Structure 1
Amino acid sequence: MDVPQLPLNALRAFEASARLCNFTRAGQELNVTQTAISHQVKALEDQLGVTLFTRLPRGLALTDEGHALLPVLTDAFERISGAVTRLQEGRFQEVVTLGVVGTFAIGWLLPRLSDFRDRHPSIDLRLKTNNNVADIVAEGLDYFIRFGDGAWHGTDALPLLDAPLSPVCAPALADQLKQPADLHGVPLLRSFRRDEWERWFQAAGMVPPTPRGGMFDSSALLLEAAAGGEGVALLPVTMFQQALGQGRVKQPFELAVDTGRYWLTKLKSRQETPAMGRLREWLEQQLRQHPNTDSRPSGAPPGHLPSDRTTKPL
């Protein structure tokens, strides 16, 4: 099969420009002029016979063809750079870069990481935490563990862990809450997913009150605010067993509601490497051994709404 002879410099110029959405910043990264970057990209477009960018007054926008090419090149350059670096350092480990929503990282993954490293010492696992939003291409992620419904454009998703939400607050406040209706008189702390409290109150058979508590962009911050007496937070309690066990917070009601789950995701365009496969298999094995998917206390009455999310195999 004939392989097109494409200039490496032009491919690097396009990848940097697409990642940074700017010819000038791409030139600074590659130590060449903005004009050189623009000429190299134009030459690549002419050779391919497609338009990769729409030139805007202030920046660049990828065309569909540009979107298709970018993740392939980013992946290739990351793998080349990683392999060369490891050879220069006298070692050869396959790198896997895993993005993880902070709640899952702290509440589930970190306590188990030593087991993965013991089983797979030849894999250099690199973690990047975030608040559930990440640009997989720009951040160079092989996998991204995130919370949601599993429906992300251009992404394969494997379900990992259910995460039902239940109210959590400081012990002194929990002792004052005898029934769900008592929540009408206290601040309800919120995440950026604004329908969570509404769904919990509907599951409790109540009309939701108008929330009047603060809004936070991470469950870890919600926990700290709740523990500090700022109000009641709706949290995935399976991720905060340590704080509950230490008595920093209490779960005043057993009712929990599913609004999503944690998923292992990757771009459809990203081919799974052997090291990525071993990480995925380890995650699945750990979850089979320690499912921990039900947040209800032992003997709790019905009230945990089962998830209707479907599996989206990787």
Structure 2
Amino acid sequence: MDRPNLPLNGLRAFEVAARQGSFTRAAIELRVTQAAVSQQIQRLEDLLGHRLFTRASSGLILTDIGAALYPVLTRNFDEIGEVLDRFQGGRYRETLHLGVVTTFAAGWLIPRLPSFEAAHPGISLRIFTHNNRIDIAKEGLHMAVRFGDRAAWPWLEAEPLAEAPLTPLCAPGLVPRLRVPQDLRAQRLLRSYRGDEWEAWFLAAGATCPPLEGPVLDSSVAMAELAAAGLGVALLPATMFTRQLEAGMLARPFDVDISAGRYWLAWPKGKALTPAMGQVRDWLVESGGLEQPSS
């Protein structure tokens, strides 16, 4: 198809609907009505002579031609947007959207942003926090810092950043009552959505894990706040809570820790790194190997 005849509005509507899996969510992103999105895609289908979607209870499903078209559009729209972003405001500047698991953002990244910005004035780094459950492409991110096992994300490229072993942290006033690991059985043990962590820690400590009850939290930052308030003992990556440990807000009663994964920098497979992505990757990787905080 000749360039002057490319149906750009329809292609854009199709790309957003395919990425969002819904005409309604596509309309919200494009700031138009759902009917407008549907009409644009209908015109594109009429022009091509093929259906691009089938509807199912779970949402939109791409047909074969839709599946062939979608990654080409996504890649090229991303590249166009990235180039335009670099020249906004009358000077060259590349914007990078970085998703960061909240614990890493609060405990490591945000305090170091001034030094990054001073060293990379041509990069506008936009931080979006998440709870480790994230779809990089769907959420419009270039890269994301995640925690866990590399094998859990086979569809992503990933660079290791830092180990973050888990260890019990609590309010300092609770430490005198925690002489041996078995003393934790008398305390409220705060739980994360990774349900097997306490069992693994007690096994490493040579003690028996008690029955686990109470709410499940998906934020290490929230668990740290509850622990600091004396409302329980949290199993946390101590390297991410150095400030609270040094300030006496939290204490580490035992030296035993376990590995539940590590922090990774991830981005979609097959996506070529822009200059900004490469510089952010290099800076994060070179800054890895975090020091363990003192007890």
| TM-score class normalised by the smaller sequence | 0.7 to 0.9
- Structure 1: unaligned runs, 5 residues or longer: 298-314
More displaced, 48-57 or 261-270?
48-57
The correspondence of residues 1-314 of structure 1 with structure 2, limited to 5 A, is 6-27=6-27, 29-30=29-30, 34-35=34-35, 37-42=37-42, 44=44, 52-56=52-56, 59-62=59-62, 66=66, 69-70=69-70, 72-84=72-84, 87-151=87-151, 152-287=153-288, 291-294=289-292
CA 1:34/1:170 → structure 2, altered by over 3 Å: closer, same or farther? closer
Q: More helix per residue: 1 or 2? A: 2
- Which residue type is aligned with residue 133 of structure 2? V
More displaced, 190-199 or 26-35?
26-35
How far residue 29 of structure 1 moved from its aligned partner, in angstroms, is 4.9
Cα deviation, 1:58-92, whole Å, max 9, x if unaligned, reads 84234576567545534533443454355452122
Q: Secondary structure at the match of 2:90?
A: coil
How far residue 97 of structure 1 moved from its aligned partner, in angstroms, is 1.0
Cα deviation, 1:247-302, whole Å, max 9, x if unaligned, reads 11110000000011000000103211111111111112222xxx2254675xxxxx
CA 1:29/1:109 → structure 2, altered by over 3 Å: closer, same or farther? closer
CA 1:179/1:52 → structure 2, altered by over 3 Å: closer, same or farther? farther
Q: TM-score, normalised by structure 1?
A: 0.82
**Separation in structure 2 between the aligned mates of residue 160 and residue 145 of structure 1, nearest angstrom:** 9
Instruction: State the identity as a percent.
Output: 51
**Separation in structure 2 between the aligned mates of residue 67 and residue 140 of structure 1, nearest angstrom:** 19
Q: TM-score, normalised by structure 2?
A: 0.87
How far residue 113 of structure 1 moved from its aligned partner, in angstroms, is 1.6
**Separation in structure 1 between the aligned mates of residue 273 and residue 86 of structure 2, nearest angstrom:** 20
- What's the C-alpha RMSD, in Å, of the aligned pairs? 2.8
How far residue 119 of structure 1 moved from its aligned partner, in angstroms, is 1.5
More displaced, 77-86 or 121-130?
77-86
- Which residue type is aligned with residue 245 of structure 2? L
- Which residue type is aligned with residue 121 of structure 1? P
- Aligned pair count? 293
Query: Do the aligned residues in 2 keep the contact of 1:71 with 1:269 (CA within 8 Å)?
Result: no
- Structure 2: unaligned runs, 5 residues or longer: none
More displaced, 174-183 or 66-75?
66-75
- Which residue type is aligned with residue 267 of structure 1? P
